[in-house]
């Protein structure tokens, strides 16, 4: 992790006050939360709408922080404790991360996309870990604060950092790319997430392509080559090295054979003739993510055998195509971390293709941040559900009711169930499910559908 004396830190940040009395103190790591302060940390206070972190600076020092940043526009910085007065604590945090990144003998992989970036991050990290000391973004630390904190937490002997880059508007991914200066970058796909903020899929494409702004001059850019919007825009970019992945044979890598079962996917690729990879994750869309990971692993000199080992031992971040089991023995696919029309269609298609189950049920919640056409997006999901493959559709939330509305033309009324109360939904599912059934849970994060899954896995009979 970041470890510098206060004197060295001041030189990196152009600190505006005299800290000669504290210059030999050593900072170890960075924190933005006084509840998680560790001894030696640099505390970074932010001014929020309701709370100003500067009021907790002294508390942070008392809890063991070595020093704290201080916004020069906040009056009365304390002189008896080591506070580093800077123009803006957030910009200082980002600058510190950028400089620390360049002080390490480190290569960086940056990953963005509308769907699948966390899954792809896990895959890339797993494959590269067979050869390198790899660290990756944890949790949702993928924004203008989380990414700098991830970099500053890297150990000095880290060889590769796999960094997820999220956004909600223009300019955000460009900033993250400039801070991290990736040696390789991936765009997993272009979906509908953030339509509310960016207006169109064209806008989303423009925002995602900001990832190349900080890409090293000789860096590798890999993107989902089946997306026309990306194809069109990438042609005009001054990139030296570009690879594509996807289903089409025009891509740099594509699957030539796929066999899926309840444990995962077995597939062969155009790059490695006769080599079968096993991916212990459900869904054809995840094979696309795996192809991106293989391109990066090849770029970093990982052998095919090590790629296969890394792929086979993959464990994804929770609530992403996670297969679990209910109390009655029913199989549950927990993909409730997030949802967009693209990812929801892919998940439903997966369930439609899986065999060996008595009854297959969809438990679908609201997809958020889709803008003015959100009701139509939900109805479209309902209309694409095949009653020959799916037996029951359960919806939760006001928007998800439009999924049910879209499905009613194809399903009998007794097979469509809509709820706005989570306890009632859980009770209905407990009454309906049995051993040998398969349930898919899919919704935006704010719907917290995992609470219903927990109810199905509990002994509570209420």
Q: What is the DSSP string of 28-42?
A: E-EES-GGG--TTPE
Topology of the domain comprising 104-312 = 3.40.1190
Q: Could you report the per-residue pLDDT of 364-376, keeping only the tens digit for each?
A: 999 998 888 899 9
Please state, in angstroms and rounded to a whole number, the distance separating the CA atoms of residues 409 and 423: 27
Query: CB burial class (10 A; 0-12, 13-18, 19+) of residue 206?
Result: middle
* 309-313 long-range contacts, CB within 8 A, separation 24+: 309/130, 310/126, 310/127, 310/128, 310/129, 310/130, 311/123, 311/126, 311/127, 311/277, 311/278, 311/279, 312/277, 312/278, 312/279, 312/280, 313/126
- In the predicted structure, residue 118 carries a pLDDT above the cut 70: yes
Please state, in angstroms and rounded to a whole number, the distance separating the CA atoms of residues 61 and 95: 22
Instruction: Give me the pLDDT at residue 369, please.
Output: 84
Average pLDDT score, the chain: 94
Query: CB burial class (10 A; 0-12, 13-18, 19+) of residue 160?
Result: buried
Instruction: Summarize the confidence of residues 206-221 as an average pLDDT.
Output: 97
Instruction: Give me the pLDDT at residue 460, please.
Output: 66
Instruction: Give me the pLDDT at residue 115, please.
Output: 85
Instruction: Give me the pLDDT at residue 31, please.
Output: 97
Instruction: Summarize the confidence of residues 184-200 as an average pLDDT.
Output: 82
**Is the distance from CB of 364 to CB of 395 less than 8 angstroms?**
yes
- In the predicted structure, residue 319 carries a pLDDT above the cut 80: no
**Helix, strand, coil tally for the chain in percent (to 5):** 40, 20, 40
Instruction: Give me the pLDDT at residue 318, please.
Output: 65
Instruction: Give me the pLDDT at residue 130, please.
Output: 98
- In the predicted structure, residue 85 carries a pLDDT above the cut 60: yes
Q: Which sequence spans correspond to the domains of the chain? A: 3-87, 104-312, 322-456
**Is the distance from CB of 456 to CB of 327 less than 8 angstroms?**
yes
Q: What are the C-alpha distances in Å from 231 to residues 10, 116, 289?
A: 45, 19, 18
Instruction: Summarize the confidence of residues 21-37 as an average pLDDT.
Output: 96
In percent, the amount of the chain with pLDDT more than 70 equals: 98
- In the predicted structure, residue 70 carries a pLDDT above the cut 70: yes
- In the predicted structure, residue 175 carries a pLDDT above the cut 70: yes
- In the predicted structure, residue 191 carries a pLDDT above the cut 90: no
Q: With respect to CATH, is domain 322-456 assigned 3.90.190.20?
A: yes
> Is 322-456 in the same CATH topology as 104-312?
no
* CATH architecture classification, 3-87: 3-Layer(aba) Sandwich (3.40)
């Amino acid at each position: 992790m970041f470890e510098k004396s206060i004197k060295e830190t001041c030189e990196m940040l152009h600190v505006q006050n005299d800290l000669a009395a504290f210059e030999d103190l050593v900072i170890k790591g960075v924190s933005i939360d006084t509840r998680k302060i560790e001894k030696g940390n640099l505390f970074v206070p932010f001014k929020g709408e309701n709370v100003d972190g500067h009021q907790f600076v002294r508390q942070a020092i008392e809890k063991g922080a070595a020093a704290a940043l201080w916004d020069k526009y906040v009056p009365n910085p304390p002189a008896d404790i080591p506070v580093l007065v800077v123009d803006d604590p957030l910009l200082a945090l980002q600058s510190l991360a950028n400089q620390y990144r360049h002080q390490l003998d480190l290569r960086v992989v940056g990953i963005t996309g509308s769907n699948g970036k966390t899954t792809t991050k896990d895959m890339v990290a797993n494959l590269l870990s067979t050869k390198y000391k790899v660290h990756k973004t944890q949790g949702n630390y993928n924004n203008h604060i989380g990414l700098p904190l991830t970099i500053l937490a890297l150990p000095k002997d880290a060889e590769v950092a796999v960094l997820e880059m999220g956004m909600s508007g223009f300019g955000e991914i460009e900033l993250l790319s400039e801070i991290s200066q990736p040696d390789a970058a991936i765009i997993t796909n272009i979906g509908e997430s953030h339509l509310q903020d960016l207006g169109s899929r064209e806008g989303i494409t423009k925002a995602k392509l900001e990832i190349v702004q900080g890409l090293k001059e000789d860096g590798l850019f890999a993107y989902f080559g089946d997306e026309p919007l990306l194809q069109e825009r990438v042609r005009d970019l001054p990139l030296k090295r570009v690879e594509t992945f996807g289903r089409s044979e025009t891509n740099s890598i594509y699957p030539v054979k796929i066999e899926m079962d309840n444990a995962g996917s077995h597939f062969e690729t155009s790059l490695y003739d006769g080599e079968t990879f096993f991916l212990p994750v459900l869904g054809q869309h995840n094979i696309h993510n795996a192809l991106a990971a293989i391109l990066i692993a090849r770029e970093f000199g990982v052998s095919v055998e090590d790629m296969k080992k890394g792929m086979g031992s993959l464990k994804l971040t929770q609530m992403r195509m996670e297969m679990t089991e209910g109390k009655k023995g029913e199989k549950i696919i927990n993909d409730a971390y997030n949802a967009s029309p693209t990812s929801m269609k892919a998940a439903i298609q997966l369930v439609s293709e899986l065999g060996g189950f008595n009854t297959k049920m969809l438990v679908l919640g609201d997809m958020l941040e889709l803008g003015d056409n959100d009701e139509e997006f939900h109805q479209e999901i309902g209309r694409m559900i095949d009653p020959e493959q799916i037996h029951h559709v359960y919806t939760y939330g006001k928007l998800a009711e439009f999924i049910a509305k879209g499905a009613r033309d194809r399903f009998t009324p007794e097979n469509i169930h809509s709820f706005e109360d989570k306890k009632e939904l859980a009770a209905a599912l407990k009454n309906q499910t049995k051993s040998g059934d398969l349930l898919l849970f899919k919704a935006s994060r704010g719907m917290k559908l995992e609470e219903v899954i927990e109810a199905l896995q509990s002994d509570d009979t209420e």
